[in-house]
């Protein structure tokens, strides 16, 4: 769907001022390593830095690393680190922080990082401003995963010898980034203030960012119209309101800045459920759902039916020649009969509970639409709502669910986002957005391990194609739509990033015109 282009920066940036943004849902932590949902990353990318940034072509640019060199046939990456950088508490940033972050956070706790950094054996620190990544095999994906949202460099001196998941700095972060954490009043707002000692001289422009928590979607739309809110990423308002807001001359609407994540809306099947363990049942559910109808009705046309877990916009990796499960209720009925699940006297074959993603009304509405589709083939699809912490615990720790809905960031390089859902060893309790289905297929594991160490682009693409075919044959997950997020902002807000990761980039260049 076409969208208005965001307003480009014009004239000399104005220093000072307070930017008011809205973030929905409320973050669960302000460190993406411990939970990498987009709300956590959108806020914390302003507090932390990555080793790299990315330009409009997603090519790496210097950040905490001034330069880097790949050597030893791709098995070593030498990062020369920026000198004179301070943590917000005044401590010096050194290679020890990079080593700790890479080995104890990215590789160990981060759901995508567990796969991205699988080849990372060690980080050598021969002197305070050199970090050498030693790899078991070439891992080209690593240089696509080092920005401030995906791989935040965090302070060793505040995290070492602590329970990282319970460290209070997860909610009161100390970074090296353009803004310093000020306060978090749960259910109300998160306040960040300008870092006057930021290493990138002249940035940021703003004095302060206030991320408002406004649970009601219609109220968020009104706040944009009245000018109470300047910036609202990640489809923060009902899509039914977007057409009206696009017509407001004080507002700009864009769907840019999300390609880095390449979100797919999908269902996860808990394969421990005896009904869902039967492939015929999963295929029946796939045939019963009208993807285009779902997009048109719930997302007002913002999206595209998914045929694979890798979106079609990722042309370097997408495989369109996978097993298809197009809308065909008659085929769904036949498969359920084959599975020995006849309709009862009330017309119901069996009941499953659906834990929809608690990121606003849209996901509940998607659950209602799917419920109506499945009812037609005799499946009772019972919706269960809850807050995000409860949903995360139920889906990723207790595995006390049947089918959940999720938005998964496949990422610009799908090695960052797809294998974590399918790799058998990534079925780890308590790790969000990991393999929560319990899926285990030695062939999928073999392909994942092969693509992780394959440096040849053509062979790597072929391996991704093979993995997509396996996923769409086995259906542990069911991709439904390639998502199109919407950003709405005041035209007074200038200097927003124009990169594929803009929605997760810091607001260091942003400024407010009069």
Q: Whole-angstrom Cα distance, residue 14 to residue 294?
A: 44
In a domain, 165, yes or no: no
Reduce the secondary structure of 122-134 to three states and give it as a string: EEEEEECCEEEEE
Do 189 and 65 fall within a single domain? no
Q: Whole-angstrom Cα distance, residue 325 to residue 172?
A: 46
Return the SS3 of 251.
Answer: strand
Read off the CATH number of the domain in which 479 is found: 3.10.105.10
Do 389 and 509 fall within a single domain? no
Instruction: Give the model's pLDDT for residue 464.
Output: 96
In a domain, 323, yes or no: yes
Give the residues across from 20 on adjacent strands: 210
Pairing verdict, β 403-409 and 263-269: antiparallel
pLDDT tens string, the chain, 514 residues long: the values are 333 334 444 578 999 999 999 998 899 999 998 888 889 999 999 999 999 999 988 899 999 999 999 999 999 999 999 999 999 999 999 999 999 999 999 999 988 888 899 999 999 999 999 999 999 999 989 999 999 999 999 999 999 999 999 999 999 999 999 999 999 999 999 999 999 999 999 999 999 999 999 999 899 999 999 999 999 999 999 888 998 999 999 999 999 999 889 999 999 999 999 999 999 999 999 999 999 999 999 999 999 999 999 999 898 899 999 999 999 999 999 999 999 999 999 999 999 999 999 987 889 999 999 999 999 999 999 999 999 999 999 999 999 999 999 999 999 899 999 999 999 999 999 888 899 999 999 999 999 999 988 888 899 999 999 999 999 999 999 999 999 999 999 999 999 999 999 999 999 999 999 8
Do 215 and 327 fall within a single domain? no
In a domain, 166, yes or no: no
Return the SS3 of 314.
Answer: coil
DSSP string, 317-385: T----S----S-HHHHHHHHHHTT----TTS--EEEEEE---SSHHHHHHHHHHHHHHHTTTEEEEEE-
Do 330 and 408 fall within a single domain? yes
Instruction: Give the model's pLDDT for residue 37.
Output: 85
Do 311 and 353 fall within a single domain? yes
Read off the CATH number of the domain in which 116 is found: 3.90.76.10
Do 298 and 367 fall within a single domain? yes
In a domain, 360, yes or no: yes
Q: Whole-angstrom Cα distance, residue 116 to residue 472?
A: 22
CA distances from 463 to 26, 144, 298, 321, 442 (A): 37, 18, 34, 13, 15
Structural domains of the chain, count = 3
Q: Which of 408, 443, 471 is nearest to 279 (CA)?
A: 471
Do 149 and 89 fall within a single domain? yes
In a domain, 81, yes or no: yes
DSSP string, 43-63: HHTTT---SEEE-TT--EEES
Q: Whole-angstrom Cα distance, residue 181 to residue 43?
A: 10
Return the SS3 of 231.
Answer: strand
In a domain, 164, yes or no: no
Residues 181 and 174 sit within 8 Å (Cβ to Cβ) = yes
Q: Which of 253, 46, 87 is nearest to 176 (CA)?
A: 87
The answer, as to whether pTM is greater than 0.75, is yes
Task: Write out the H or E segment, with its range, that includes residue 265.
Answer: strand 263-269
Give the domain extent around 68.
48-157
Do 40 and 83 fall within a single domain? no
Do 218 and 103 fall within a single domain? no
Instruction: Give the model's pLDDT for residue 359.
Output: 86
Q: Whole-angstrom Cα distance, residue 143 to residue 11?
A: 34
Do 498 and 350 fall within a single domain? no
Kindly state the DSSP code that residue 92 receives in the 8-state scheme: B
In a domain, 201, yes or no: yes
Q: Which residues contact 295 (CB under 8 A, 6 or more apart)?
A: 301, 302, 303, 304, 305, 481
Tens of pLDDT, residues 340-367: 999 999 999 999 999 999 987 889 999 9
Tell me which of 157, 187, 222 is where a domain ends: 157
Do 406 and 466 fall within a single domain? yes
Residues 410 and 309 sit within 8 Å (Cβ to Cβ) = yes
In a domain, 18, yes or no: yes
Do 137 and 183 fall within a single domain? no
Alpha helices in 150-290 (DSSP H): 156-159, 217-226, 242-246, 279-288
Return the SS3 of 447.
Answer: helix
């Amino acid at each position: 769907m076409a969208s208005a282009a965001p307003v480009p920066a014009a004239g000399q940036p104005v220093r000072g001022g307070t930017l008011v943004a809205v973030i929905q849902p409320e973050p669960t932590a302000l460190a993406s390593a411990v939970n990498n949902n987009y709300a956590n990353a959108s806020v914390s990318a302003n507090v932390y830095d990555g080793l790299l940034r990315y330009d409009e072509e997603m090519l790496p640019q210097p950040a905490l690393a001034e330069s880097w060199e790949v050597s030893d046939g791709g098995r070593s990456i030498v990062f020369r680190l920026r000198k004179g950088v301070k943590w917000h508490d005044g401590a010096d940033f050194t290679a020890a922080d990079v080593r700790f972050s890479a080995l104890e956070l990215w590789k160990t706790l981060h759901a995508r990082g567990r796969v991205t950094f699988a080849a990372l054996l060690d980080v050598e620190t021969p002197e305070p401003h050199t970090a050498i990544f030693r790899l078991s095999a070439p891992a080209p994906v690593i240089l696509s995963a080092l920005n401030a949202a995906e791989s935040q460099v965090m302070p060793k001196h505040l995290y070492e010898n602590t329970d990282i998941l319970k460290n209070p700095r997860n909610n009161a972060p100390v970074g090296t980034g353009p803004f310093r954490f000020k306060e978090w009043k749960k259910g109300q707002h998160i306040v960040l203030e300008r870092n006057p000692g930021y290493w990138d001289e002249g940035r940021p422009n703003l004095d302060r960012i206030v991320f408002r928590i406004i649970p009601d979607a219609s109220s968020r739309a009104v706040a944009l119209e009245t000018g109470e809110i300047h910036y609202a990423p990640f489809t923060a308002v009902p899509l039914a309101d977007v057409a009206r807001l696009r017509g407001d001359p004080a507002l700009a609407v864009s769907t840019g800045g999300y390609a880095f994540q390449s979100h797919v809306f999908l269902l996860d099947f808990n394969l421990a459920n005896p009904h869902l363990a039967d492939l015929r049942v999963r295929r029946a559910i796939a045939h019963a759902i009208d993807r285009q109808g779902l997009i048109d009705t719930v997302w007002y046309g913002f999206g595209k039916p998914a045929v694979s877990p890798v979106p079609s916009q990722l042309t370097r990796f997408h495989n369109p020649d996978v097993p298809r499960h197009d809308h065909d209720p008659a085929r769904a009925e036949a498969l359920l009969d084959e599975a020995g699940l006849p309709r009862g006297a009330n017309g119901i074959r069996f009941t499953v509970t659906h834990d929809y993603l608690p990121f606003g009304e849209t996901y509940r509405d998607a659950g209602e639409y799917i419920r109506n589709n499945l009812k037609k083939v005799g499946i009772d699809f019972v919706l269960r709502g809850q807050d995000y912490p409860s949903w995360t615990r139920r889906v990723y720790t207790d595995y006390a669910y049947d089918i959940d809905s999720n938005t998964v960031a496949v990422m610009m390089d799908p090695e960052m986002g797809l294998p974590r859902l399918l790799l058998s060893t990534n079925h780890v309790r308590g790790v969000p957005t990991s393999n929560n289905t319990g899926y285990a297929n030695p062939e999928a594991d073999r392909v994942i391990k092969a693509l992780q160490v394959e440096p040849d682009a053509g062979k790597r693409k072929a391996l991704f194609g093979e993995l997509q075919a396996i996923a769409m044959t086995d259906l542990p997950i069911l991709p439904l739509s390639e998502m199109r997020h919407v950003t709405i902002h005041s035209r007074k807000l200038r200097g927003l990033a124009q990169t594929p990761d803009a929605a997760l980039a810091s607001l260091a260049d942003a400024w407010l015109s009069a």
